[in-house]
Amino acid sequence: GENVEQHPSTLSVQEGDSAVIKCTYSDSASNYFPWYKQELGKGPQLIIDIRSNVGEKKDQRIAVTLNKTAKHFSLHITETQPEDSAVYFCAATLNYGQNFVFGPGTRLSVLP
Amino acid sequence: NAGVTQTPKFQVLKTGQSMTLQCAQDMNHEYMSWYRQDPGMGLRLIHYSVGAGITDQGEVPNGYNVSRSTTEDFPLRLLSAAPSQTSVYFCASSYSKGGNGYTFGSGTRLTVV
């Protein structure tokens, strides 16, 4: 089955700097890759996603890139703000809306 | 819009007790699922359903039971609670083929003593 690895497990950046989180997946048939943000005591919330037929997607300060050949995808956050501090999870699936396999998470701290 | 509603938010059980975690969604999503979240392990799929009357096992199904009698509801039953089931449980739903990602509930924190 699918296996998703995520690095780094923790990341600290200064406010205004960029943050990059990288995930690798094992099944080349995976076709959908969402990213979730989880704040303390809450459920994960979708922040951005990308399908396998697209190489890059951007939404304001957040972008995701996908390299199908290398089987990895990355989350890029620019101009980080303290409210970006949270745990971020990547996921992959073979069936767009079903059975996501999640990475172990990255705890991002944005220092003022 | 309520989205995905989970109850209870917190629960303490004694070893061997049974209980049901409730999940309801009002978005007419076909797909519903249960995940458990443990430190350093991300979210792991317990059971899922692609529609009313259809359920299947995920990665870690042992000790849990589910049913899907309506589109809206997807309860998770712990048959005989064990300390290893101490975790945070999340219910999630989505359109099966929409590529829109999951909508998660706010979670149930379960402690088994």
Residue-wise pLDDT for B70-110, tens only, equals: 999 999 999 999 999 999 999 999 987 666 789 999 999 99
The answer, for A95 touching chain B at a CB cutoff of 8 Å, is yes
More confident residue, A1 or B65: B65
Q: Which two tokens stand for residue B105?
A: 């509930």
Name chain B contacts of A96, Cβ cutoff 8 Å.
96-99
Tell me whether residues B96 and A51 touch, CB distance under 8 A: no
Interchain CB distance below 8 Å, B99 and A43: no
pLDDT < 50 positions in chain A: none
pLDDT value for A34: 95
Nearest CA in chain B to A92: B101
Residue A50 is predicted with a pLDDT of: 93
Judge contact between B72 and B55, C-beta under 8 A.
no
Q: What is the mean pLDDT of residues B65-70?
A: 97
Q: How confident is the model at residue B39 (pLDDT cuts 50, 70, 90)?
A: confident
C-alpha to C-alpha distance for A4 and A78, rounded to whole angstroms: 24
Residue numbers in B near A95 (CB within 8 A): 96-97
Question: Reduced to 3 states, what is the DSSP secondary structure of residue B33?
Answer: strand
DSSP codes of every residue in B48-63: EEEETTEEEE-SS-TT
Distance CA B27, CA A14 (A): 39
**Per-residue pLDDT at A86:** 98
**How far apart are the C-alpha atoms of A105 and B43, rounded to whole Å?**
9
Residue B98: the pLDDT is: 61
**A101 interfacial to chain B (CB closer than 8 Å):** yes
Structure tokens at A100: 């996501």
Q: Report which of A104, A102, A106, A105 is spatially closest to residue A1, judged by C-alpha positions.
A: A102
Q: Rounded to an integer, what distance in angstroms lies between the CA atom of residue B21 and that of residue B13?
A: 12
pLDDT grade for B40, boundaries at 50, 70 and 90: confident
